[in-house]
């Protein structure tokens, strides 16, 4: 290739790869000449070639701008119906981490109905008010700190969290609380504090994939324990695992467990804590959904039965107040000193103003009023979603009936692979969370998790109906059976919540 052709090809690839977008100005002739160390005449010839090919256009006294290539293939007006994937091409060949990353990317797409999202509808939260409070502190430069807030965190926020625990029946000392960047960091810090790389951590099966990732990141390994969909982790199975001497600790979600949705009965929580005391092992408890209960009383935690500080409690405001600021906390009991040290090594400090804003909201902005409204909406949406799934999905489909949170666990008939439904749903503009993401052994290949936190509008209803029709087609055992159902679902992309997952309102 000649020099001008090489330059034209370089710019063309940048346009096709999205580095330069339609309407954007490309570097001037003189700038390109300097950048690529070419003569001005060579650059002009390259630009003229690109203009003749329809990639750029010249504007008088303005320069050259990117335009849609004339020879680019037109977008299809009618999509091809999705085909059932052969087993060799199913995403099961990917690692669980890759599958989760793929799913999270898809739910953040504007054209997806986010039924597979792990995040609640942002419109449910007073995030704007909290951002306004934080911005007010910033503008007034109150208590400006050079390096932010060091561990354990903002003193007033810690006090408000301690008061909140007292109101919900868990008296704690403010000095035990450590503020973290969400519950995920709290889990990682606690895992680091209780065990070393290579150790086994007993977990529920299925369990939330963020916990599996946290265990993997620390160099440990997850040991799945049989878990009842209504009662929680099977304690005799756990006892046998702990007796082997190979387990360094246990990690559970006792209230509105993700993905099953159950609340572990109080008697079993108490027995779980006694069992850990018997083996002299720690328990990491994730209670991030605890405030989202549908009943009158907030369910108790395993931490409330802790007599010797072996329970490391983790939670956050991401699911109950503001998903945007990632403020969590932990009550690490006897491991407090180790967790605080690890927190300092991990992030040194955290921004001051979001912590102060949340503290002020908790103190004066009606957190309980917000929670009552939130719980009522989620309870209504759970009932609607569950009824729709049982109506539209094939006979033999089973649903959890969570009494809190915003996630529904669906067990499909044996003839339906969750990963194949996931692939077909993606093509139809719908995201679902396949059960393969929630274990390390592929034990939940016929299960999916659905998010019911979004308003029950035409787009959501049509998505659930389409999922049911796709399931009927897959159960019939032929791609042809699934095709007409998909074609009826094509308008869904236009009905997706505006702004994608995080900005949906």
Give yes or no: residues 152 and 47 share one domain.
Answer: no
Is residue 72, in this structure, part of any structural domain at all? no
Find residue 222's DSSP bridge partners: 201
pLDDT of amino acid 365: 76
Helix (H, G, I), strand (E, B) or coil at 210: helix
Q: Which of 343, 364, 385 is the last residue of a domain?
A: 364
Is residue 83 pLDDT above 50, yes or no?
no
Q: How far apart are alpha carbons 267 and 302 in whole angstroms?
A: 10
Residue 69 binned pLDDT confidence (cut-offs 50, 70, 90): low
Give yes or no: residues 132 and 221 share one domain.
Answer: yes
Is residue 75, in this structure, part of any structural domain at all? no
Q: pLDDT (tens digit, 9 = 90+) per residue, 364-373?
A: 878 999 999 9
Q: How far apart are alpha carbons 293 and 376 in whole angstroms?
A: 9
Residue 202 has φ and ψ, to the nearest 5°, of -75, 130
Question: How much of the chain, in percent, has pLDDT values that exceed 90?
Answer: 70
Is residue 86 pLDDT above 60, yes or no?
no
Handedness of CA 332, 337, 342, 348 (dihedral sign): positive
pLDDT of amino acid 478: 43
Give yes or no: residues 151 and 44 share one domain.
Answer: no
Is residue 74, in this structure, part of any structural domain at all? no
pLDDT of amino acid 89: 41
* Strand pairing class (247-252; 283-286): parallel
Residue 61 binned pLDDT confidence (cut-offs 50, 70, 90): confident
Q: pLDDT (tens digit, 9 = 90+) per residue, 257-292?
A: 999 999 999 999 999 999 999 999 999 999 999 999
Helix 127-140 vs helix 352-364: angle between axes, to the nearest 10 degrees?
Answer: 120
The whole-chain average pLDDT of the chain stands at: 87
Q: Number of structural domains, the chain?
A: 3
* Strand pairing class (283-286; 56-59): unpaired
Is residue 80, in this structure, part of any structural domain at all? no
Is residue 67 pLDDT above 80, yes or no?
yes
Give yes or no: residues 186 and 42 share one domain.
Answer: no
CATH of the domain at 451: 3.90.1150.10
Is residue 387, in this structure, part of any structural domain at all? yes
> How many CA atoms lie less than 13 Å away from 166 in the CB half-sphere?
9
Closest CA to 103 of 85, 118, 89: 118
Is residue 73, in this structure, part of any structural domain at all? no
Contact 270, 283 (CB under 8 A): no
Burial class from Cβ neighbours inside 10 Å (0-12, 13-18, 19+) for residue 237 reads middle
Give yes or no: residues 13 and 104 share one domain.
Answer: no
Q: pLDDT (tens digit, 9 = 90+) per residue, 382-414?
A: 999 999 999 999 999 999 999 999 999 999 999
Give yes or no: residues 347 and 374 share one domain.
Answer: no
Q: Which of 324, 343, 364 is the last residue of a domain?
A: 364
Give yes or no: residues 271 and 356 share one domain.
Answer: yes
Q: pLDDT (tens digit, 9 = 90+) per residue, 125-184?
A: 998 899 888 888 777 665 555 567 999 999 999 999 999 999 888 889 899 999 999 999
Contacts of 223 by beta carbon, 8 Å cutoff, 6+ apart = 200, 201, 202, 203, 241, 246, 247
Give yes or no: residues 332 and 472 share one domain.
Answer: no
Give yes or no: residues 330 and 399 share one domain.
Answer: no
Least confident segment among 122-136, 407-421, 444-458: 122-136
Give yes or no: residues 157 and 304 share one domain.
Answer: yes
| pTM for the model | 0.80
Give yes or no: residues 442 and 299 share one domain.
Answer: no
- The DSSP annotation for 80-130 comes to PPP-PPPGGGSGGGS-HHHHHHHHHHHHTSTTSB-TT-SSPPGGGS-HHHH
* Mean pLDDT, range 441-458, rounded to an integer: 93
CATH of the domain at 171: 3.40.640.10
Q: Which of 364, 399, 431 is the last residue of a domain?
A: 364
What the block records as the tokens of 399 is 């649903």
CATH of the domain at 50: 1.10.10.10
> Looking at per-residue confidence, does 336 or 69 come out higher?
336
pLDDT of amino acid 82: 42
Query: Hey, how many other C-beta atoms are within 10 angstroms of the C-beta on 21?
Result: 8
Determine the structural domain holding residue 199 and report its residue range.
Answer: 127-364
Write the DSSP symbol of residue 380.
H
Give yes or no: residues 174 and 242 share one domain.
Answer: yes
Least confident segment among 100-114, 380-394, 406-420: 100-114
Is residue 246, in this structure, part of any structural domain at all? yes
Is residue 481, in this structure, part of any structural domain at all? yes
* Strand pairing class (447-451; 407-411): antiparallel
* Strand pairing class (178-180; 328-331): antiparallel
């Amino acid at each position: 290739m000649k020099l001008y052709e090489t330059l034209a090809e370089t710019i063309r690839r940048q346009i096709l790869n999205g580095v330069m977008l339609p309407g954007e100005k490309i570097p001037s002739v003189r700038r390109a000449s300097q950048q690529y160390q070419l003569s001005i005449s060579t650059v002009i010839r390259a630009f003229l070639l690109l203009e003749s090919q329809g990639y750029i256009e010249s504007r008088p006294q303005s320069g050259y701008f990117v335009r849609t290539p004339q020879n680019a293939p037109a977008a299809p007006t009618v999509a091809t119906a999705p085909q059932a994937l052969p087993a060799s091409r199913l995403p099961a060949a990917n690692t669980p981490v890759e599958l989760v990353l793929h799913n999270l990317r898809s739910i953040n797409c504007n054209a997806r109905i986010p039924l597979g999202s792990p995040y609640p509808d942002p419109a449910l939260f007073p995030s704007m008010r909290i951002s306004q409070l934080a911005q007010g502190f910033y503008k007034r430069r109150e208590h400006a700190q050079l390096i932010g807030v060091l561990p354990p965190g903002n003193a007033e926020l810690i006090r408000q969290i301690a008061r909140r625990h007292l109101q919900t029946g868990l008296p704690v000392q403010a000095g035990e609380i450590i503020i973290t960047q969400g519950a995920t960091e709290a889990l990682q810090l606690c895992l680091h504090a209780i065990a070393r790389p290579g150790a086994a951590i007993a977990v529920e099966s299925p369990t939330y994939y963020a916990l599996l990732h946290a265990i993997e990141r620390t160099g440990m390994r997850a040991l799945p324990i049989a878990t009842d969909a209504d009662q929680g982790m099977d304690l005799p199975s756990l006892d046998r695992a702990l007796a082997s001497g190979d387990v360094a600790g246990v990690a559970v979600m006792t209230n509105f467990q993700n993905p099953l949705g159950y609340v572990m009965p109080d008697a079993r929580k108490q027995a779980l804590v006694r069992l850990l005391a018997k083996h002299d092992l720690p328990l990491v408890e994730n209670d991030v959904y605890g405030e989202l209960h549908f009943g009158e009383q907030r369910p108790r935690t395993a931490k409330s039965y802790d007599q010797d500080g072996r329970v490391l409690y983790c939670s956050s405001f991401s699911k109950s107040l503001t998903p945007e600021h990632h403020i969590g906390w932990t009550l690490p009991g006897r491991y407090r000193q180790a967790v605080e040290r690890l927190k300092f090594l991990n992030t040194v400090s955290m921004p001051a103003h979001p912590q102060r804003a949340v503290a002020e909201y908790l103190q004066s902005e009606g957190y309980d009023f917000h929670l009552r409204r939130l719980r009522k909406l989620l309870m209504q949406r759970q009932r609607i979603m569950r009824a729709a799934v049982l109506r539209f999905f094939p006979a033999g489909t089973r649903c959890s009936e969570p009494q809190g949170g915003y996630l529904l666990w669906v067990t499909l008939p044996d003839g339906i692979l969750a990963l194949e439904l996931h692939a077909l749903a993606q093509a139809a503009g719908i995201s679902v969370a396949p059960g393969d993401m929630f274990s390390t052994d592929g034990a939940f290949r016929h299960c999916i998790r659905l998010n019911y936190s979004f308003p029950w509008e035409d787009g959501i209803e049509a998505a659930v109906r389409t999922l049911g029709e796709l399931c009927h087609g897959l159960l019939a055992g032929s791609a042809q059976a699934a095709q007409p159902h998909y074609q009826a679902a094509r308008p869904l992309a236009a009905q997706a919540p505006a702004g994608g997952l995080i900005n949906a309102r």
